[in-house]
Amino acid sequence: MTTTNDVHLQFAGFFRNETLRPYAWLVSKKLSEGHICLKLDDLETDMEILPEYFSNAFRAPAALAEEPMVGHNPGDRKPFILYNNNLYLHKYFNYETRILNRIQKFRESEDLVLEERSLMLGRETEFLSTLFPPPVAGSLSAAMTDWQMVAAISAVLNNFTIITGGPGTGKTTTVARILALLYKTDPDLKVALAAPTGKAAARMAESLRSASFTAAPEIAAGFQKLEPLTIHRLLKYVPDSAYFKHHQDNPLRYDVIIVDESSMIDAALFAKLLDATGDNTRLILLGDKDQLASVEAGSLFGDLCQSQTSMNVFSRERAQLINSLISEPFRQLQEEHVGTLSQNPLFQHIIELKFSRRFSGEEGIGKFSKAVISNDRITIQSFIAKPDAQVTVDPEYSQIRFEEFIREYEDYIREQDILSALRKMNTIRVLCATREGNYGVFQLNRRIEKYLEQKRLIRLNAEFYENRPVMVTSNNYTVGLYNGDTGIVRSDEKGTVKVWFEDGDGKLKSVLPGYISQAETVFAMTIHKSQGSEFKKVLVMLPPEQDVEILTRELLYTGVTRARTFVLVQGQENVILKAAERHVKRASGLGLRLNLPNG
């Protein structure tokens, strides 16, 4: 039913032309669902959601060609752009075009320095071998292409590199070795580390600083200088606006920019990040193409990865160059990795790390998560029928299992040392698909609070009660807290109530509750909010209604892979199978335009 509260109808009402209004409604609706455009080739499906209000006025898409409010070229200043049979709001077509143009510019500018970089790598083959020692004989990775090494070499050669891979595939380890190689050749290298959230940025910096390889003092000094930033801080956000201080006319002054959790970046922010990156700056994007996309419109990381019909394919010339830097033949690129040179500017710029050192693909979390993302019903059902040491699926929502899991929250409350308590609190988490309802974040937090209160471990006598776990939900640059940071409430030695956090150096810092304007209890959190975090143990809570649209394979995969050692999934079999079946494919024109001669 359409009401005056329908924001899409209100938007369509701005346009007087009867032909345009239904399309304006559909474009607005699609944007709210995360799509960048309306695909006119798939209009039959979209017609099912169009309000009856428009049924008599609707005309075939061909009528849009004559609409004065519809442009057809990147330079047209019209509210809508019709391009490659996709209908965009001008703003989002502009974002997509800027992203495409910047990627092409990166590719063009790297051609000028490719020979110099190749020679530099040739001089460092011995150091490369030190950074990437041969795998242990007999290990699973001992007889396959070393994709970490291939990714590192590619990132040094390229101005723009995407490194994708699931949990434990070594994305951060690879970047640590890339930086070691670059710091060795230039100790004064200026490097920026960024991520969509402060939590993800800090975690990446911590992992890089503790990278397990022997480094010369000048290299170690470079790592110690690394400062994690949110993308907004990197670009220097102008408060209360949509603008940043760094942009195309005032680019960032870095030699290398590394961005983690790139799947979380929306179209607008992605375009602004690329605009602010200099032509000769190396930009390295890390992420997992199978994870949830951004909350706002766009699934840019996935679009870029999928723009190539197959990743890990190189021209024969590039493959020969890479192989000349890898001494062991079994670790080199094989014939199957050689393809015809493509006009797509991302050809040989996307590397997928395939071997997980954390999870086996034959059992446990690795096998279950792979089954979810590939919609392998038989394997999913085998886990439901027979749990293993890492994965338990509970279709009955057993209260006993639930309490066995949340009992571990008792450990941090009983721990006297605040830093130890904070670390124990962050080893487990309940992750929910939704915020509302009996199986959502709010109700789950109340259930856990009630359980702990009955155990007399907490007293719900104040908003910031003793031992309350807190997640900050907005950035506060004044006190150095960022969206996603988690802490616990404890009184100091003087009895003053404070919220305690662990900083990027592993030290405690405390903030008075009055400085935290937006925060939530975080015994349970949404799967969306958990991106960029990992826990030792995770409980994934799914609502029993299988028709909840947000229940997708990407959501379930993201929740399951937040766990390092154990995951309990409480959800009905039909809900889990339906989620694995439901694949998010956000509409955009980027993949197609990357493969066309003129975009």
Q: Mind spelling out the 3-state secondary structure of 335-372?
A: HHHECCCCCCCCCCCEEEECCCCCCCCCCHHHHHHHHH
Q: Judge contact between 587 and 37, C-beta under 8 A.
A: yes
DSSP letters of 454-521?
HTTS----STT-TT-EEEE-S-BTTTTB-TT-EEEEEE-TTS-EEEEEE-TTS-EEEE-GGG--SEEE
Q: Judge contact between 567 and 537, C-beta under 8 A.
A: yes
| Residue 74 annotated as binding site | no
| Residue ranges with strand state E in 48-132 | 70-71, 80-83, 86-89
| Residue 167 annotated as binding site | yes
What's the rounded Cα separation, in Å, for the pair 585 and 299?
A: 8
What's the rounded Cα separation, in Å, for the pair 344 and 103?
A: 10
Q: Judge contact between 211 and 176, C-beta under 8 A.
A: yes
| Residue 165 annotated as binding site | yes
Total Cβ atoms within 10 A of residue 530: 22
Q: Residue 248: helix, strand or coil by DSSP?
A: coil
| Residue 199 annotated as binding site | no
| Residue 364 annotated as binding site | no
What's the rounded Cα separation, in Å, for the pair 382 and 234?
A: 46
Residue (of 342, 359, 355) closest to 150 by Cα position: 355
For the chain, the first-to-last Cα distance in angstroms comes to 39
Q: Which helix H or strand E contains 103, and what residues bound it?
A: helix 90-110
Residue (of 104, 25, 96) closest to 57 by Cα position: 25
Residue (of 243, 229, 231, 236) closest to 480 by Cα position: 229
Q: Which helix H or strand E contains 574, and what residues bound it?
A: helix 573-581
| Residue 75 annotated as binding site | no
| Residue 473 annotated as binding site | no
| Residue 222 annotated as binding site | no
Which residues does the annotation place in the binding site for ATP? 165-172
Which residues does the annotation place in the binding site? 165-172
